[in-house]
Chain A
Amino acid sequence: MRRVLAAAIASVWIAAASVASAEPPAGAAACSGCHPSAARGSSPVTPLAGRDRAEIIKAMQDFRSGARTGTVMDRIAKGFTDAEIQAIAAWWASQR
């Protein structure tokens, strides 16, 4: 079971990595409308580029479930599946 899970995670990661070289995964490009790049200006909103992948996944899942309150992220996270969240998180973690 553990091996299957590891393989599944690896395949998601590989899929995400191969996407990263071309198009961002579905939904990922929109995030930077609110989330600033670290280099550009100040914002109370968290920058995403280079952030830990697991941290992004947990934040999205918690916003989606209601475990974490948000202003708009609770409404936005509900629009994404687990697989999409995994891919988005992997892509942002790989960005600089």
Chain B
Amino acid sequence: MVGFPAVKATRRHFLKLSLAATAAAASGPRLARAQASGPRVVVVGGGFAGASCARALRHADPKIVVTLVEPNATFTACPFSNSVIVGMRELSTQQFTYDRVAADGIAIARTSATAVDAQVKSVTLADGAKLSYDRLVLAPGIDIRWGALPGYDEAAAAQMPHAWRAGEQTLLLRRQLEAMDDGGLVVISAPANPFRCPPGPYERASLIAHFLKTKKPKSKLIVLDAKDAFSKQRLFQAAWAELYPGLLEWVPLSKGGNVTSVDAATRTLVTDFGKHQAKVANVIPPQKAGRIAEVAGVTDRSGWCPIDPVTFESKLQAGIHVIGDAAIAGAMPKSAFAANSQAKVCAAAVATLVAGGTPSIPKLINTCYSLVAPDYGISVAGVYQPTGGQLADVPGAGGVSPSDAPRETRKAEAVLAEAWFRTISAESFG
């Protein structure tokens, strides 16, 4: 029988985990008792979705034994990483540890999940240990779909950074922009939908244009887009015409914007209509749900995860919930706000389910700010409810900042954007 050694490994592992959590939480006896008896929820992935969900689970019901599986000691946040690329912020302001999460009585397994057995209800960790669960929450974020764009592999990303997972890639793009001579060509390629942070490529284009305008004004920026439309498009384009005329050019799909291959050695991006040889090339490649989602069998052919809009339980595997960028959340975009909003709804539903109840019908919110210049912010907001098996927009609600708003409103939204980041990171990690 393989069951017995697995159970031993699990117990040994839990002891290790609970000791770590106890040291951080200084609430040993209560935690130890809880871990012996309470429902077990494992959360895989410690981003805005996973960390928020783990915390909300503990808050919903302190009897729930929550383990957060996350290999990185430090989380590096993507929102505001475009500001890091152009030197407006330092990467350290994007980074958060899990100390405060652990202090909430959450056991942190500092390793990756390598397999999921949905029948037995256990997660296998990289060190071979197994964690049994009553409910599993996967919050794995995105993986790059390497190979989907010919010529763009991990080696190419060292020459043409994606900077779509914040960290070293963010700093690489920043160094390349800083090192570029004035008069250089910067090219951003934006992918087809769906992808993480729909307005992100256009905020990045805006802030790079601002950087070029102020530091290297003879330079040019081209955005090659695999789409003909994008998030907050009218607001972005109006601001570009006002702030960066002649500097920033957006090339939509219908005008030959779709990048069909790249050559990293020469930093060349090939489209159906021609070639662009860049001094700095930022390739935002096609994406899919983080790998463990596929391993767990919760991805469909799109590479993303269909979910029930009330509980975020997978439509493909019972007992496994998927939140954040990896989920197919209908009208909700793949944003940190949406991830955090989903995490809290999912946590409430899971707490109800493990207690034998029926989760209530939720409503969710998203708000996404973008900076088109350091003191010029715009936003999109939405309210969502389950409709016909999907999360749909609540009619009449939501929308973007007014197109005729005065400059003070833009300035206020830039201030609110930063306040939002402080608040959501504090709720998730602080």
Contact = CB atoms under 8 A, between A and B. Distances in A.
Contacts of B348: 22-24, 29
A36 B428 CA distance: 12
B245 interface: no
Interface in A15-70: 19, 22-27, 29-37, 40-45
Contacts of B363: 26-27, 30, 79-80, 84
Given A45-B419, A75-B381, A79-B363, A33 B427 contact: yes
A36 B95 CA distance: 19
B397 A26 contact: no
Contact of A27 (B383, B419, B426): B383
A26 B56 CA distance: 15
The interface size bin for chain B is: 35 or more
A77 B397 CA distance: 7
Interface stretch (B26-34, B196-204, B264-272, B353-361): B353-361
B352 A22 contact: yes
A94 to B, nearest CB: 14
Nearest to B377: A71
Contact of B352 (A23, A79, A84): A23
Contact of A33 (B379, B396, B424, B430): B424
B360 to A, nearest CB: 5
A30 B401 contact: no
A41 B352 CA distance: 31
Contacts of A22: 348, 351-352, 357
B365 interface: yes
B151 interface: no
A25 B430 CA distance: 25
B426 A41 contact: yes
B409 A79 contact: no
Nearest to B61: A22
Contacts of B430: 40-41
Interface residues of A, number: 31
Nearest to B412: A71
A61 to B, nearest CB: 14
B59 to A, nearest CB: 10
Interface string B406-430: 0001001101100110111011001
Contact of A26 (B361, B412, B419): B361
B366 to A, nearest CB: 8
Interface in A68-93: 71-72, 75-80, 84
Given A26-B362, A29-B348, A79 B426 contact: no
Interface of B: 56, 60, 337, 340-341, 344-345, 348-349, 351-352, 357, 359-365, 367, 379, 381-383, 385, 394, 396-399, 401, 409, 412-413, 415-416, 419-420, 422-424, 426-427, 430
Given A44-B419, A72-B367, A76-B398, 7 more contacts: A24-B348, A26-B360, A32-B427, A33-B423, A43-B419, A79-B398, A84-B363
29 contacts: A23-B60, A23-B349, A23-B352, A26-B363, A27-B362, A27-B363, A27-B364, A29-B344, A30-B344, A30-B345, A32-B344, A33-B420, A33-B423, A34-B420, A40-B427, A41-B426, A43-B419, A43-B422, A45-B420, A45-B423, A71-B409, A71-B416, A72-B379, A75-B397, A76-B381, A76-B397, A78-B383, A79-B398, A80-B397
